[in-house]
Amino acid sequence: MSVGVWIESTKPKVYTASIGPVVIGTALAAAEAAVRWELLPLILICAVLIQLVSNWTNDLYDFARGADAMGRAGPRRVLAEGLIKPTHLKTAAWAAATVCFLLGMILVYERGWIVLAIGVASLIGAWMYTGGPYSFAYHGLGEAAALFFFGLLGVNGTYFVHTGTISGFSLVMSVSVGMLVANILLVNNIRDAATDAAVGKRTLVALIGTRASKWLYCFSTCVSILLPSFSFLFSRGPIMLLPLLTLIPSVSLMRFVMRNEGRSLNRALVSTGLLLLLFTILNALALVASTRTS
């Protein structure tokens, strides 16, 4: 097996889901002049490793349950294509989780047991997305899990490591980031609605229907973009309107999601990750440049 196949297995196009929360949490701390720059590389590495564990365990359990067959609408899966053996991927997932835990202990040493709780919960959540006795993805809770783990825990956890506390600002930003990360899963599940139903994978899309899921995607996109700007406008100044530029590409993306099905939504999957990247950059710039007035 080649290095390229292993890179493909990590799903690098959607790593904004783990990097974005860290950048936002750090930008919030920077706005308060409270960044622990020496800890930032560790936070980033641990966040990416948690997503990597989630991606690999997701592939393992979906493959075992028949949800990832050859010829699927989404990008190919290395297990379904026989490019990597399940035992090798399982070993790699355990190795990534172990490295994440060991590196995370440095952060625990700096900030205490709360960081340990966040890290352990995140690793367990990565496994329970498709594994365990009650997997999130198979019971319509995948998007809620993304909102919680990548949004609430990701942003607030990063902010806490830097500052030793959380704030109203970090809570608002964590909800917005989490909703956009959840949208990556949502559009993925809209695309895979037919194949998921065939193997009994009861995603949120299966529970509320494709049309309602598309409207939820649009609602989440709009709320996530508007919420920080108008929540912070009077306390941090008009620079917080800068992230509203994210609305420009989001309009065409929402229209595309509403009008398309199946394999064509692969484009929307990548574009949703890029939208999160733009949202992250603009909000980080606005936060760092803002001046707290209250």
Gap between the Cα atoms of 251 and 150, Å rounded: 24
Question: How do residues 225-275 score in pLDDT, each as one tens digit?
Answer: 999 999 998 888 899 999 999 999 999 999 999 999 888 999 999 999 999
Contact present, 277 and 20 (Cβ < 8 Å): yes
| Residue 139 φ/ψ, nearest 5 degrees | -130, 25
pLDDT at 42 over 90: yes
Gap between the Cα atoms of 285 and 35, Å rounded: 15
203 to each of 52, 120, 135, 136, 267, how far by Cα in Å? 21, 25, 10, 8, 21
Gap between the Cα atoms of 239 and 290, Å rounded: 6
Is 209 in a helix, a strand, or coil?
coil
What is the token pair recorded at 23? 């950048």
Is 202 in a helix, a strand, or coil?
strand
Question: How do residues 97-137 score in pLDDT, each as one tens digit?
Answer: 999 999 999 999 999 999 999 999 999 999 998 888 888 98
- Round the average pLDDT of the chain to a whole number and report it: 90
Contact present, 209 and 256 (Cβ < 8 Å): no
Side chain identity at 276, as an amino acid letter? Answer: L
Reported as a pLDDT band with limits 50, 70 and 90, residue 73 is low
Q: How many residues in the chain?
A: 294
Question: How do residues 184-198 score in pLDDT, each as one tens digit?
Answer: 999 999 998 888 877
The secondary structure element, H or E, covering residue 258 is helix 247-259
Distance of CA 280 to the CA centre of its chain: 12
What pTM, to 2 d.p., does this model score?
A: 0.91
What is the token pair recorded at 2? 């080649």
State the Cα angle at 49 between 30 and 144, rounded to 5°.
80
What is the pLDDT, as a whole number, of residue 20? 95
Gap between the Cα atoms of 123 and 50, Å rounded: 6
The secondary structure element, H or E, covering residue 149 is none
Domains of the chain as residue ranges with CATH? 3-289 (1.10.600)
State the Cα angle at 55 between 50 and 59, rounded to 5°.
145
Gap between the Cα atoms of 257 and 262, Å rounded: 10
Closest by CA position to 31, among listed 266, 293, 291, 283 = 291
